[in-house]
Amino acid sequence: MELVAASTLTPADLTAVEQIYLDGFEPHLRAPFDNLLADTALVLVDRKPLGLAVLRVLGDTGWVYLRYFTVGEKGKGLGEHLWTHLRTAMTSAGHTRIVYDVEDPAQHGIDAAEERIRHRRITFYRRLGAVLLPVNGYLPPQGSAGYPMLLMAADYVDQTPAAADDLERIVVAVYEHRYGVAPTDPVVERTLRLSGVSHAR
């Protein structure tokens, strides 16, 4: 198995990657597939595409934001393979932290099956070394989704401060470099306030 840039794939393989993406995310969570290719889109391959990870660099923080992460066949360990290859690639590129959001299993109105899926997703990332950050009121401005999400982070090298002690920088970086929301925007300030973090000016 290897991790390759989506831009290096044949049109047929790229179509297969798009199908993996469409099967992996509900319509309300998807961006147009071409939009993904404008970021760093990496594909796990072993004679055929097996999984997709899409990342965006978070400014000059040395971190990346994981927009999408999915594999075609579930339950075969492909997610762990994709994560391992991704971690190696990001470390080699000089990135020290990966940040991403996950859907909140405590969201009001979801059914029990969806709640279990969301808990399993968080458990998967935790098993691979990620931590759930104590961020409250995080509302990514992503169209119709518009509901609270949870932020997670995984550190690739020993760092000080740890992710959980670096909340302000993480929240600001995600809003600014992932979503284009200024650090002084009321949405950012509200998230920081609800998370018990004072915004340094």
> What digits encode the pLDDT tens for the residues 58-70?
999 999 999 999 9
Instruction: Quickly tell me which residue has 């290897």 as its tokens.
Output: 2
Q: For residue 143, is pLDDT > 50?
A: no
Q: How confident is the model over 165-187, as a mean pLDDT?
A: 92
Yes or no: say if 9 and 40 are a contact pair by the CB < 8 Å rule. Answer: no
Kindly state the tokens that stand for 164: 């959980």
Residue 109 lies in a domain: yes
Residue 36 lies in a domain: no
Residue 47 lies in a domain: no
Yes or no: say if 96 and 165 are a contact pair by the CB < 8 Å rule. Answer: no
| pLDDT tens per residue across span 21-37 | 999 998 888 899 999 99
Q: How confident is the model over 147-176, as a mean pLDDT?
A: 81
Residue 15 lies in a domain: no
* % the chain with pLDDT above 90: 62
Q: Can you give the residue range of the structural domain that contains 104?
A: 96-194
Residue 179 lies in a domain: yes
Yes or no: say if 47 and 7 are a contact pair by the CB < 8 Å rule. Answer: no
pLDDT for the residue numbered 197: 86
| pLDDT tens per residue across span 74-85 | 888 999 999 999
- b or e along 64-91 (b: 16 or more beta carbons within 10 Å of the residue's beta carbon)? bbbbbbbbbeeeeebbebbbebbbebbe
Residue 136 lies in a domain: yes
pLDDT for the residue numbered 122: 92
Instruction: Give the predicted TM-score (pTM) of the model.
Output: 0.89
Averaged pLDDT score across all residues of the chain: 89
Residue 30 lies in a domain: no
Selection from 173, 164, 158 nearest residue 196 by Cα? 164
Residue 184 lies in a domain: yes
**pLDDT: is 147 or 74 the higher one?**
74
Domains in the chain, number: 1
pLDDT for the residue numbered 159: 59
| pLDDT tens per residue across span 84-111 | 999 999 999 999 999 998 888 988 888 9
CA distance 124 to 107: 19
Selection from 184, 64, 188 nearest residue 135 by Cα? 188
